[in-house]
Structure 1
């Protein structure tokens, strides 16, 4: 019995070492391509025979390809290896309260296709029908490739458990929705469902304004407000996955009642919801996109529209102060649709944050608007999808914390 156990352990250990070497080789190629086999051996410390065997497997799997020759260091010019980012594709979906945005990316996050639709009502069946339509259209864009669609990521404005179940999305009127199972049954591929602010934070860290920072607060401002946290270079989800529901922190004790059941929630005063009263004053039709219409009016010099955005900026500053004082981040990034109104919101926001935060919290703090604007969440969940495909071959570039 013991002999069999030893043989089983030895086989398992050999399997683990082999796959660990393969992961290391692929990671090195992704980070440094084009790169030769000899350079991989130098960078990883693996012997040339091990590198060669792992490269053969990766070539057979079409995750890498050869191109060359490269520069010679005094002998035969080496064949260079590159990561095949076109070996497969992922789909990233951002479900907002008044829109659905879908993107198709390759395995490095380059956008290869895009589709979006407005949402005029949040009826579940209506949203699912439009969601299917967008995904089907993106699938039709996929070029011929070894792995085709490797996964679908979906960001939703609500509380999502670590198992991908949507427990509550108050601005959509959703409660206890298992979107993951529904999508996997239809598309027969891995599906990741994530809070859209977490996805946005990840998108900014990997592709956007937060690339060079390890402590980031991402504030997603649309019809509601969500907050994603990157702390110590890790996405922080909390014990059960519900961290970041700061759009529902109280900033007005005797304030308006929110759809979540609380009163005086931050998102009632600093999101697109707060534009409604201003738009009504200006006689803007409810059938129009209020944010875009208000931006057009502000560009034309409308004082009511400009004042509306300035007030939103001040209220955003109030909430950001609380977050900064709690987490002491290096960077705060404001994203999603409201980032289009940066021109009028930025100065009031910065003034409020500077005047009201603790003076020592201001040292080295950066407050930026997203470079990705409306695409942060879609890119974030697309990255979750293709990293999930690669994770058996390459360690995650941004480890995920569950505590």
Structure 2
């Protein structure tokens, strides 16, 4: 690994620190000399960066290594629990807030439902939730930052939620609002970009350089990794996979278009179809929840799938068919190594993953499916909030993507 040495001196120092911190995270305990060999920069520069990282309580010394002839080297490793960060995942139905250490391990988590919530401004509501959450932490100055992910179009550089129709958000400068109220550095990004960063930083697919992450639940989104860099699009709007058209004779979407993929595979569509089919006399184990006036949730739908409920399986097969059409287009267009399917509908749902693999292997170009597979998220139900945390962690540990 060779660092580019041109440009602003302060920027180079920050890039050096990010690279060295990531080496320590992945390979620590490790000596300063070994780090110098790996990153190909001078021992003096490495020592200076490590001193700065130790001053920030991000790195600590941890014993000695094996001598190669002289004094035993002092090893350094990540100091994961001295500082913390907060990840916030916001979707149409709930807000999940979690505190993490530097290894992206959850230390505290709460979930707040938005199903029956009314608010004039989600920003103010979110600030109140975070203020309450932070009350449990004595040393708020030890918080490295807050990272928040949303569905829809997000300008990550400016920290603006550009377009989220489900939450009625348009050009909301959320980063500025949060930092003004909480006095903590805040990062904003699209939820699927966060999930992809989590896979690259901490998941099972860290070595992949051409990867697509698709999330399916309240909505449908995609994040595309091309040659080890996230493709964000001209204005940060890349990845609106749910608003690709699959049927010009289909229903009108909330985005204003006709026949969007999201209208065929989102949870709202599935829920409406279940209720319609049972109203027309179709038998299903899911009827017991409706009879008891319980809310029909994704988890209950998945339970019906595991029990091989005929109606649940028919509906899920249709969802796999329509989503499969979209995935075939992504495969033929981007030729990824893998597609990861996450989100509430895909979590703990091996039947769904199998059906998607069967469909895309049958309909995609053969040249694009050699050694290819659709795989589940590494993090299951925590994928959204770990994705949120990974936005900040990526900025801390990496100088690319």
Question: Normalising to structure 1: TM-score of the pair?
Answer: 0.85
The answer to whether the 8 Å contact 1:209/1:333 transfers is no
Deviates most, 308-317 or 343-352? 343-352
* Matched residue SS, 1:368: strand
Aligned-pair CA distance for 1:345: 1.7
Q: Do the aligned partners of residues 122 and 364 (structure 1) sit closer, same or farther apart at CA in structure 2, a change above 3 Å counting?
A: farther
Change (3 A) 1:278 1:123: same
> Match for 1:170 among 147, 160, 165?
165
Contact 2:353-2:374 at 8 Å conserved across structures: no
Alignment of 1:1-400 (within 5 A): 25-46=20-41, 48-121=43-116, 123-125=118-120, 127-128=122-123, 131-132=126-127, 134-142=129-137, 144=139, 147-162=141-156, 163-280=158-275, 281-282=277-278, 283=287, 285=290, 288-340=295-347, 342-388=349-395, 390=396, 395-396=398-399, 399-400=400-401
Aligned-partner SS, 1:337: coil
Gap regions ≥5 residues in structure 1: 1-11
CA distance in 1, matches of 2:120, 2:267: 24
DSSP-derived class of the 1:353 partner = helix
Structure 1 residue 43: Cα displacement: 3.9
Deviations 1:346-378 (A, max 9, x none): 333222212222222212222111121233332
Question: Alpha-carbon deviation of 1:299?
Answer: 3.2
How many aligned residue pairs are there?
Answer: 382
Change in 2 beyond 3 A, CA 1:69/1:205: closer
| Contact 2:63/2:74 (8 A) holds in 1 | yes
Give the deviation of 1:196 after TM superposition. Answer: 1.0
Unaligned stretches of 5+ in structure 2?
A: 1-6, 279-286
Cα 1:103/1:47, change in 2 over 3 Å? same
Q: Distance in 2 between matches of 1:47 and 1:341?
A: 48
Question: CA-to-partner distance for each residue in 1:297-355, whole Å, 9 max, x for gaps?
Answer: 33333211121112111111111011111111111011010113623323332222122
Q: SS in structure 1 opposite 2:347?
A: helix
Alpha-carbon RMSD: 2.8
